[in-house]
Amino acid sequence: MVAVALESLDHPTPLIVPDTPFVMAQENTAFVPDLMVVPVGATVTFPNRDAFFHNVFSYSPPRNFDLGRYPKGETRTVTFEMSGIVRLFCEIHASMFASIAVVNTNRSQIVPAGSEFVFTDVEPGRYRLLAIDARGRRGAQEITVGEQSARAIAMTLE
Amino acid sequence: MHLTLRVKFILVAGSVSIIALGSALVALSYQLERDLVRQIAEQLISAESTFTEWRRESQEYLSAEARIVANDPRFFAAVAESDPNTAIPVARQFQRLSGSQLFLVCDARGDKLAHLDSQEGVLSLDWPDSIPPKGTYLRLDDGLYLLSSQAVMVGSETMGYVALGRRVDAGLAASMGRVAGADVIFHDDALVFGSTLADPRSNKLIAEIRAQSSEYAESGSAQTVTVEGERFLFRSGLLHANAPARYAILMSLDQRLKAPVADLRATMLWLGTLALALAVAVSLTVARRVTARVPQLVAAVEAVARGDYGHEVTHKGHDEFRMVADAVDSMRHELAAQMEAIRKANAEKLDAERLAVIGKMASSIIHDFKTPMQVIRGVLDLTTDREMPADKRARYAAMVHFELERMMGMTQDLLDFARGETRMARRPTNVDAFLAEAVDAWNHIAESRGIKIEFSGQADTIAGIDKDKIRRALDNIVSNALDVLTEGGVISIRSRANGGVAQISIADCGPGIPAELHQRIFEPFATFGKTKGTGLGLAVAKKAVDDHGGTIRVESAAGEGTTFIIALPLATNGKTAERETQHAESGVSENEQVAA
Q: Are residues B481 and B518 in the same domain?
A: yes
Residue B349's pLDDT is: 93
SS3 content of chain B, % helix, strand, coil (to 5): 55, 20, 25
**Is the pLDDT score of B521 beyond 70?**
yes
Residue A29's pLDDT is: 95
User: Sheet of B551-556: strands edge to edge?
Assistant: B452-458, B490-498, B501-508, B562-569, B551-556
Q: Are residues B336 and B228 in the same domain?
A: no
Query: Is residue A43 situated within a structural domain?
Result: yes
- Partners of B74 on chain A (C-beta within 8 Å) are 57, 89, 91
**Is the pLDDT score of B118 beyond 60?**
no
Query: Is residue A157 situated within a structural domain?
Result: no
Query: Is residue B133 situated within a structural domain?
Result: no
* Residue type present at position B296: Q
Query: Is residue A30 situated within a structural domain?
Result: yes
Q: Are residues B566 and B441 in the same domain?
A: yes
Residue B381's pLDDT is: 82
Give B72 to chain A, closest Cα distance, Å.
7
Do residues A55 and A36 lie in contact, with contact meaning Cβ atoms separated by under 8 Å? no
pLDDT band of residue A42 (cuts 50, 70, 90) is very high
Q: Specify the 3-state DSSP secondary structure of B237.
A: strand
The helix or strand, by DSSP H or E, that contains position B260, with its residue range, turns out to be helix B253-291
Among residues B257, B292, B318, which one ends one of the domains?
A: B257
Higher pLDDT: B159 or B385? It is: B159
Query: Is residue B315 situated within a structural domain?
Result: yes
- Rounded CA-CA distance B311/B302 in Å is 9
Q: Are residues B439 and B559 in the same domain?
A: yes
Do residues B296 and B269 lie in contact, with contact meaning Cβ atoms separated by under 8 Å? no
Most confident of A27-36, A108-117, B248-257: A27-36
**Is the pLDDT score of B218 beyond 50?**
no
Q: Are residues B564 and B426 in the same domain?
A: yes
In chain B, the number of structural domains is 3
Residue B596's pLDDT is: 30
pLDDT band of residue B214 (cuts 50, 70, 90) is low
Domain residues for the domain of B342 are 309-402
Identify residues of A whose CB sits under 8 angstroms from chain B CBs. Answer: 57-61, 87, 89-97, 135-136
Query: Is residue A126 situated within a structural domain?
Result: yes
Q: Are residues B580 and B447 in the same domain?
A: yes
Q: Are residues B579 and B450 in the same domain?
A: yes
Residue B202's pLDDT is: 83
Per the CB < 8 Å rule, is B154 touching A57?
Answer: no
Lowest mean pLDDT among A22-26, B44-48, B345-349: B44-48
CB pairs under 8 A between A and B: 41
- Partners of B86 on chain A (C-beta within 8 Å) are 59, 61
Per the CB < 8 Å rule, is B155 touching A93?
Answer: no
Burial class (CB in 10 A: 0-12, 13-18, 19+), B480: buried
Among residues B257, B287, B320, which one ends one of the domains?
A: B257
In chain A, the number of structural domains is 1
Question: What is the DSSP code (8-state) at residue A122?
Answer: P
Mutation site, A31, A56, A59, A158, interface B, largest B CB count within 10 A: A59
B295-315 residue pLDDT tens: 888 888 888 888 888 888 777
CA–centroid distance for B470 within its chain? 61
Mutation site, B67, B72, B74, B85, interface A, largest A CB count within 10 A: B74
Q: Which among B588, B585, B207 is positioned nearest to B429, based on CA atoms?
A: B585
Query: Is residue B8 situated within a structural domain?
Result: no
Q: Which among B128, B122, B124, B125 is positioned nearest to B110, based on CA atoms?
A: B128
Query: Is residue B489 situated within a structural domain?
Result: yes
Query: Is residue B24 situated within a structural domain?
Result: no
Beta-carbon contacts of residue B208 (< 8 Å; ≥ 6 apart): B225, B226, B227
Count of CA atoms in the C-beta half-sphere (13 A) of B319: 8
Residue B47's pLDDT is: 84
Q: Are residues B493 and B552 in the same domain?
A: yes
Q: What is the CATH number of the domain that holds B212?
A: 3.30.450
Number of other CB atoms surrounding residue A32 within 10 Å: 13
pTM over 0.80: no
Q: Are residues B429 and B498 in the same domain?
A: yes
Query: Is residue B412 situated within a structural domain?
Result: no
Query: Is residue B60 situated within a structural domain?
Result: no
The average pLDDT across B347-356 equals: 87
Residue B419's pLDDT is: 67
Residue A56's pLDDT is: 96
Mutation site, A63, A85, A88, A89, interface B, largest B CB count within 10 A: A89
- Rounded CA-CA distance B564/B554 in Å is 5
For helices B170-180 and B5-70, angle between their N-to-C axes, nearest 10 degrees: 120
Domain residues for the domain of A74 are 2-145
Q: Which residue of A has its CA nearest to B78?
A: A59
Do residues B88 and B162 lie in contact, with contact meaning Cβ atoms separated by under 8 Å? no
Most confident of A26-40, A129-143, B93-107, B410-424: A26-40
Query: Is residue B226 situated within a structural domain?
Result: yes
Q: Which among B497, B498, B495 is positioned nearest to B432, based on CA atoms?
A: B495
Q: What is the CATH number of the domain that holds A75?
A: 2.60.40.420
HEC sequence for B425-487: CEEEEEHHHHHHHHHHHHHHHHHHCCCEEEEEEECCCEEEECHHHHHHHHHHHHHHHHHHCCC
- Rounded CA-CA distance B25/B17 in Å is 12
b (16+ CB within 10 A) / e for A142-157:
ebebeeeeeeeeeeee
- Rounded CA-CA distance B432/B570 in Å is 13
Among residues B370, B402, B434, which one ends one of the domains?
A: B402
Query: Is residue A68 situated within a structural domain?
Result: yes
Per the CB < 8 Å rule, is B73 touching A94?
Answer: yes
Using DSSP bridges, classify how beta strands A54-58 and A77-79 pair: parallel, antiparallel or unpaired: unpaired
Q: What angle do CA B395, B439, B520 make, to 5 degrees?
A: 100
